[in-house]
Every structure is written in C-alpha cells, then in structure tokens.
C-alpha cells in the first residue's frame, strides 16, 4: 500500500505550557483557579463528521459544543482522500482555531478532540487527535476514557523497540494498530482493542473512512447523528448536544461493544470480541454532561431535577430559601425547592468570564479564587435559613469557602445539600480525580464534613436514591436496569481491573483538615 502524506500544522517542539490549573512558576501573581474548582473533571470530548465539504468547520462547531468536557487543548485532523491535515493547540476551541487555520484543513472527513488530561501531563505533545504515517497509510485517533493497562502494554512495546512521542495512554492504540498483521482497518483496530482494558469512546480516521468504537461496558458516551438535508453526512459526538449547533439529528447511541465503520459504502456495524454487561458512568448525569443533553434516552436536566426531588425526601431542611451553586447545581436545586415548597433563588451569581489564571494583588484577598467565580446576592440571603445545593463534594475546600461567603452575606443558618452520594473513591476510567486520601468523604463522617465546611448540616443523596431517580426518568425504551451504571466513585465497586489498586484509607488514618 502506498504511504499516505500527513501534514502537521501544530508545532510539536513548543515549550511546556502552563501547568494545569496553575500559573507558570515564574509568575508569582497568577492565581491557580482550579484549586478553587473542587469538582471531578471529565477528560475529553470527541467529534467526527463524514462527507461534508466543510468538514473542519463542522468539527470546530461540534467541539465548541463539547467544550465543557475539556478545556486544556483542542485538535482536528481532516482527510481529503489523499492526505491528512492536523492542527492541535493548547487552550479553548475558539482560541485554538482561526478562520485562516481552518482553511488549511481541507477534506470531507474529520475527527476532533477536546482534552482535560487524566493520563499524561499537560503539554502539546499530549493534545489529540494523534496522527501518524505508517507503512499502511496515515492513521489518526482520539479517545475519551482511560486504558487501565496502558502502562503495562507501553512497557512491553518499548522493550520491543517502539518509540512514543507522548505520555498519553491513547498512543498505545496507535502502536498496536500499526503492528497488527490484519489488512482491513477495522480488523487492525479489533486486534488493538483485544489487548487493552478500560473505558473508551474512540474515533479513528483513515484516508477515506471513520471508525467509531465504544468499550464493551459503554462507560463513556458516544452517539450517531445525521444532517437531515444531506443524508450522506454522518456525525458522531460524545453528547448529542453537539448535533444541535450544526443542525444535525440524533439517530441513536452507539451501543456498548459496538464498532461503526463509515465510508463510501455507508455505515457498517460490527461487534467487539469482548462482551460485558453495560455500565455507563452515573457521574455523567451528576456533573459532566451538559444539562441540555440526553444520555441513554434520558434528559440530563430532568434527571438532575429528580436527584433534587429525591434528596428532598431523604434529607429535608427547614429553610426559607434554596440556592444552587451555579451552574451544575441549578436543576437539582429547582427539584429540591419544588418538592419542599421552599422558594428557589439565585443567591450565588457566577461570572462566566474568568480564565484559567488571573492576576491577584500582592495583598492576598480571602477566598480570591471562589470570589472571582461566584458572588452573593445579600438581599436574598440576609437573615434567612438557607439551603445551598451543589452536585458533589470532592475535597471540601470550595464548599467551605462558599458556605463562609453565604454566612458573610448575612445568612442565619446554612444547610449544605449534595445531589449525589459521598464521593469516597477515585475514578480510573477517564475522569481526573484526586487520590483517595484527598477525598474528604473517604475518611470523614457527614458530621465531620459539616464541621469542616462550617455548615449547620450536610445531607447527601443516597446511592439507592440516585439509581432509583435515574431509572424513573426516560421513555419506555430507556434502560431501567439499575445494574447498568458504573458508580465506583461512590461505592468502590470497580468493574474493570487496574493497577495499582486504589489507596486504602482506614478510619484510623484520618488526616487533619487544615483551616482555610
């Protein structure tokens, strides 16, 4: 087979970028805002388009709609049937691509990626999609998820002479596919996937085809769409919300363990060799997915409202107003307030114009990072018993600062309610999470957490209540089997083996919670 030509438009020889969530070491005044963003972070979003004359532009718009899934880097690879063209850059989608840059990405097929790193450090070399030339032609790949045995396979490949250009687990797939003795691209990918374990929603690009794959458990989402005005233009995305912006119609979710091949012959569906019980990530409903998305046939917005209603039954509070921590806490707070007949108000206002770093004055400002993002409305809070509703607590540092801000605005009582169970375990399936030692719920009781965050009370949604709430939402075609969700971050029940095992945290090894 003739070797294809690959054009890389991004400079790989750039200097290391600013560390994730922080400033460059030489800039002492830049404040690391992610220290005040106490959430799990989803790792990536992927998008593909086949058969459109402006494939790069369509991919750009699709990635923009998936920006919430990753803000560290963005990339697009296109093919015109003869050559591939790649551009990757650090930062947000709108900053990574210009109109002039998109014009340098010709072709009718494209894949794209937005990244928040989970495996591999923050550097342009880890930005995706990865695109390589091999003896069998050019191949590009992007990945949402995490391969739990990537380090083991990488060590084996390096011992046999393979050279890696990144620290990302995704590059392992490129090497495995390139080494396969199979001829057809789908067979080479099947060969590669037979070696790996973990969670993945993958997009591969060849000179004339797109291959989309979802892992056997379907942990990460992936769906298929179609442009209604042009039935030969297919699109694939991590969430169907990406279809709305480009006027595409949602067709269906790609099933767990399914491979779709899209080429000149149309769309073909194949099955992976491994069969497993579906276990999609429950945290997509809690925080990751956009509220206007649908996953597994369920409205994310309605599921979050149901979380709030269920939480109201399990952990009511005597209060005069319910306020959310915006934006992710809004739907659950609406459900909670409605179920208890308590007024819902926006007592915290979020600034949407804060970048990743900000110049802080030399004289330190208390709770500076949180104050940049959130501000209180005193008229709503003064003299009242307040319920603050958030989607999760990870370390507890941000919750503590928010509660103190609400008290500072004059609230008489502050009750914190969380629309998910206590987060006690890290995720190994493609979510950027702290170690178990850093998760406050892994070693502290609810009363201890309440004392640390300075709340009058703290209440969590139970795991049973969460699973019941999810299955109550959706139409008859929605999967109502509560066993079909991964909730390892809450329960510690991991579906896929990995190494090393999570850190054990016993009650006798509680760390001291420092005053903030």
Dist CA 452 CA 447 (whole Å)? 9
**pLDDT tens digits, 339-377:** 999 999 999 999 887 654 445 455 555 566 787 889 999
Top-tier CATH class for 5-10+43-276 = alpha beta
Q: Where are the domains of the chain?
A: 5-10+43-276, 299-480+491-502
Looking at the predicted structure, is the pLDDT value of residue 9 above 70? no
Q: How open is the CA angle 411-412-416, to the nearest 5 degrees?
A: 70
Catalytic residue among 44, 223, 281, 489: 44
**pLDDT tens digits, 248-257:** 999 999 999 9
| Least-confidence region, from 23-37, 100-114, 406-420, 425-439 | 23-37
Question: Which whole number is the average pLDDT over 381-391?
Answer: 98
Chosen CATH of 299-480+491-502 out of 3.40.50.300, 3.40.50.2020, 3.10.450.50, 2.60.40.10: 3.40.50.2020
Looking at the predicted structure, is the pLDDT value of residue 20 above 50? no
Looking at the predicted structure, is the pLDDT value of residue 290 above 80? yes
Residue 355: the pLDDT is: 56
Dist CA 419 CA 309 (whole Å)? 9
**Strand segments (E) across 153-304:** 198-205, 210-214, 223-226, 234-237, 249-253, 258-263, 266-271, 280-281, 294-295, 298-299
Residue 366: the pLDDT is: 58
| Cβ 166 vs Cβ 125: under 8 Å | yes
Q: Which of 26-30, 127-131, 451-455 has the highest mean pLDDT?
A: 451-455
φ, ψ dihedrals at 94, nearest 5°: -70, -20
Tokens representing 166 are 């990144």
Q: How open is the CA angle 83-55-92, to the nearest 5 degrees?
A: 100
Residue 473: the pLDDT is: 92
Looking at the predicted structure, is the pLDDT value of residue 431 above 80? no
**Helix, strand or coil for residue 444?**
coil
Active site residue 223: no
| Least-confidence region, from 11-15, 81-85, 335-339, 354-358 | 11-15
Dist CA 359 CA 29 (whole Å)? 5
**pLDDT tens digits, 116-140:** 855 456 678 889 999 888 878 899 9
Q: How open is the CA angle 37-40-41, to the nearest 5 degrees?
A: 85
Distance between the two ends of the chain, CA-based, in angstroms? 62
Q: Quick one: what percent of the chain has pLDDT higher than 90?
A: 68
Dist CA 144 CA 200 (whole Å)? 6
Tokens representing 397 are 């540092």
Count how many residues are written for the chain: 516
Per the model's pLDDT, the better-predicted residue between 141 and 13 turns out to be: 141
The runs of H, that is alpha helices, within 236-280 are 241-246
Residue 358: the pLDDT is: 44
Which of 475, 420, 427 shows the shortest CA–CA distance to 304?
A: 420
Residue 116: the pLDDT is: 80
Per the model's pLDDT, the better-predicted residue between 119 and 240 turns out to be: 240
The runs of H, that is alpha helices, within 166-240 are 171-179, 185-193
């Amino acid at each position: 087979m003739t070797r294809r030509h690959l054009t890389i438009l991004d400079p790989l020889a750039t200097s290391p970028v600013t560390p994730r969530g922080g400033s460059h070491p030489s800039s002492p005044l830049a404040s690391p805002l992610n220290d005040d963003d106490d959430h799990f972070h989803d790792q990536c979003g992927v998008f593909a388009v086949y058969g459109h004359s402006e494939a790069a532009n369509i991919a750009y718009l699709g990635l923009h709609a998936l920006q919430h899934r990753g803000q560290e880097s963005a990339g697009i690879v296109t093919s015109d049937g003869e050559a591939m063209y790649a551009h990757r850059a650090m930062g947000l989608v709108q900053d990574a691509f210009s109109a002039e840059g998109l014009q340098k990405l010709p072709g009718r097929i494209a894949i794209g990626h937005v990244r928040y790193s989970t495996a591999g450090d923050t550097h342009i070399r880890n930005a995706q999609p990865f695109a390589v030339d091999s003896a069998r032609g050019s191949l590009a790949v992007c990945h949402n998820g995490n391969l739990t045995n990537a380090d083991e396979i990488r060590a084996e490949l390096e011992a046999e002479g393979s050279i890696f250009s990144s620290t990302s687990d995704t590059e392992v797939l490129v090497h495995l596919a390139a080494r396969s003795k199979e001829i057809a691209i789908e067979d080479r990918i099947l060969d590669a996937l037979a070696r790996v374990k973990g969670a993945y929603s993958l997009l591969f690009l060849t000179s004339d085809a797109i291959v989309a794959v979802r892992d056997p458990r379907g942990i990460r989402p992936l769906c298929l769409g179609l442009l209604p005005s042009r039935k030969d233009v297919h699109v694939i995305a991590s969430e169907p919300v990406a279809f709305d912006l480009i006027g595409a119609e949602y067709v269906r979710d790609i099933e767990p363990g399914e491979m779709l091949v899209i080429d000149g012959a149309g769309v073909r569906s194949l099955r992976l060799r491994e069969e497993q019980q579906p276990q999609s990530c429950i945290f997509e409903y809690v925080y990751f997915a956009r509220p206007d998305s649908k996953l597994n046939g369920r409205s994310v917005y309605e599921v979050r409202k149901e979380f709030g209603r269920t939480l109201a039954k399990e952990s009511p509070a005597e209060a005069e107003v319910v306020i959310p921590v915006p934006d992710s806490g809004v739907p659950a707070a609406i459900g909670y307030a409605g179920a208890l007949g308590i007024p819902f108000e926006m007592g915290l206002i979020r600034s949407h114009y804060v970048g990743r770093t900000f110049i802080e004055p030399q004289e330190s400002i208390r709770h500076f990072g949180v104050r940049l993002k959130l501000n209180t409305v005193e008229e709503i809070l003064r003299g009242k018993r307040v319920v603050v509703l958030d989607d999760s607590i990870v370390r507890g540092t941000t919750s503590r600062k928010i509660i103190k801000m609400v008290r500072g605005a004059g609230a008489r009582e502050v009750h914190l309610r969380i629309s998910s169970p206590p987060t006690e375990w890290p995720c190994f399936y493609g979510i950027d999470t702290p170690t178990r030692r850093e998760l406050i719920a892994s070693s502290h009781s609810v009363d201890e957490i309440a004392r640390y965050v300075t709340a009058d009370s703290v209440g969590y949604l139970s795991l049973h209540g969460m699973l019941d709430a999810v299955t109550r939402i959706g139409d008859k075609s929605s999967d109502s089997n509560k066993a079909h969700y991964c909730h390892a971050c809450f329960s510690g029940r991991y579906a896929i083996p990995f190494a090393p095992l999570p850190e054990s945290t016993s009650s006798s090894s509680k760390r001291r919670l420092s005053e903030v």
